[in-house]
Amino acid sequence: MADRLLMKGNEAIAEAAVRAGCRFYAGYPITPQNEIPEYMSSRLFEFGGHFIQAESEVAAINMVYGAGGAGMRAMTSSSGPGISLKQEGISYLVGSEVPAVVVNIMRAGPGLGGIQPAQSDYYQAVKGGGHGDYHLLVLAPESVQELVDLTALAFDRADHYRAPVLILGDAIIGQIMEPVTLPDFVDLAELPAKEWATTGKRGRRDKRIINSLYLQPDQLERHNQQLQDKYRQMARTEQRSAGYLLEDAELVLVAYGSTARICRRAVDLARAEGIAAGLLRPITLWPFPTDALAKAAAGAEALLVVEMSAGQMVDDVRLAIDCRLPVHFYGRMGGVVPSPAEVFEEIRHRAGDRSAGRSAGSAAGSTASSGGDGRE
């Protein structure tokens, strides 16, 4: 029977990882994700797994590369400054096609920034981050339950694509406590054999090489084309999103993670005042749920992107609808969390814009505002 528990987000990730068959974790302390390594430092040993508190984020991701390459389900976690350090290793994981799960519990940047919730690592997560032509499958949970579900999915997809998968949470999701239903333990013996893992030849005739070096340009181009094939397949099959009151929505909010929960409340407040607002919540940030957003926007008059950042997802939203509608933005930065009332005010303001815009016959455009700067 499934276990029902009250768990903190970070601990839930760790437990879900162990249940998904993760047997190797390497990490380095950084707030607000410390409960992940702390939990792993005892829990993994109960299953014959390995926990290493590494000398750096750089070492941690490279240990994961080694363990993942040797065939073990492996994970590392961090927050912004540490994720920046891991980019080298992430690029190598991609180039060498080694599965791994990387967790970023976002705090505010840039630089050392702060330890409060933010979503300012979106660009880094979905536009590359490290060197080379690549994408990560990026999963953005909004609740502790979804963290658990997406952690299981992350390990599954990482093995499936032989690629690192990024779970992009934020300090709220990492620190909040909620009831969760935990999945059963994955039976590792049931998983497909990894015919590429560096286990030593052990009777095999051919050696296995895990490598991202291709000195011949034509070979490296072929390798890149094969990676791009993988991304095209992901874009076709991995888009995930959730909708809320979208059927008749004239103003479609787009928000992910903690911010989506805030927006759902704001949509309720708007509906109570007769404003036809709805919410499209991307669950995969890459691939971006373009198809669902285009559908949600089909009957809408405008979109409102809400983020705890300066508006990093706005471009992807515009592209998803080919810039056919005005795309507004409301964001807070630096660890400031928008309240439902603030977002509702923005909805009311934009709803007013639209009625004014209709009478003035204004063309599609886009505007942005933020709590810090006031509204234009």
Partner 1 sequence: MNKVFSRPTVLADVVTHYCPGCTYGIIHRMVAQALEELDAADRAVGVASVGCTVLAYDYLECDFQQAAHGRAPAVATGIKRASPDSIVFTLQGDGDLAAIGTAEIVHAAARGENVTVFFLNNTIYGMTGGQMAPTTLLGQRSSTSPAGRTQERAGRPIKVSEMLATLDGPAYIERVAVDKPGNVVRAKRAIKKALSYQQQGLGFTLVEVLSTCPTNWGMTPDEALARIGREVVPYFPLGVYKDIGERGDTAVDLPAKGGEPA
**Should residue 40 be labelled a site residue for partner 1 when binding is judged by CB under 8 A?**
no
Residues from 93 through 152 that contact partner 1 (CB under 8 A): 96
User: What backbone torsions phi and psi does residue 242 show, to the nearest 5 degrees?
Assistant: -135, 140
**Should residue 338 be labelled a site residue for partner 1 when binding is judged by CB under 8 A?**
no
**Should residue 217 be labelled a site residue for partner 1 when binding is judged by CB under 8 A?**
no
Residue from 2, 193, 202, 361 touching partner 1 (CB under 8 A): that is 202
**Should residue 272 be labelled a site residue for partner 1 when binding is judged by CB under 8 A?**
no
**Should residue 293 be labelled a site residue for partner 1 when binding is judged by CB under 8 A?**
no
**CA angle 316-32-310, nearest 5°?**
30
**Should residue 72 be labelled a site residue for partner 1 when binding is judged by CB under 8 A?**
yes
Strand 3-8 and strand 177-182: pairing?
A: antiparallel
Q: Does an H or E element contain 7, and which?
A: strand 3-8
**Should residue 74 be labelled a site residue for partner 1 when binding is judged by CB under 8 A?**
yes
Pairwise CA distance, residues 169 & 60, whole Å: 19
Which of the ranges 147-155, 204-212, 262-270, 354-362 carries the binding residues for partner 1, by CB under 8 A? 204-212
**Should residue 219 be labelled a site residue for partner 1 when binding is judged by CB under 8 A?**
no
**Should residue 71 be labelled a site residue for partner 1 when binding is judged by CB under 8 A?**
yes
Nearest Cα neighbor of 101 from 164, 17, 186 is 164
Which of the ranges 14-22, 137-145, 152-160, 209-217 carries the binding residues for partner 1, by CB under 8 A? 209-217
Pairwise CA distance, residues 29 & 35, whole Å: 9
**Should residue 62 be labelled a site residue for partner 1 when binding is judged by CB under 8 A?**
yes
Minimum CB distance to partner 1 smaller for 67 or for 320 = 67
**CA angle 4-5-7, nearest 5°?**
145
**Should residue 28 be labelled a site residue for partner 1 when binding is judged by CB under 8 A?**
no
Distances (CA, A) of 274 to 236, 251, 262, 269: 36, 12, 19, 9
Question: From the centroid of its chain, how far is CA 333?
Answer: 18
Q: Could you tell me how many residues make up the chain?
A: 376
What residues make contact with partner 1 under the rule CB under 8 A? 23-24, 26, 50, 52, 54-56, 58-60, 62-72, 74, 88-89, 92, 96, 198-203, 207-213
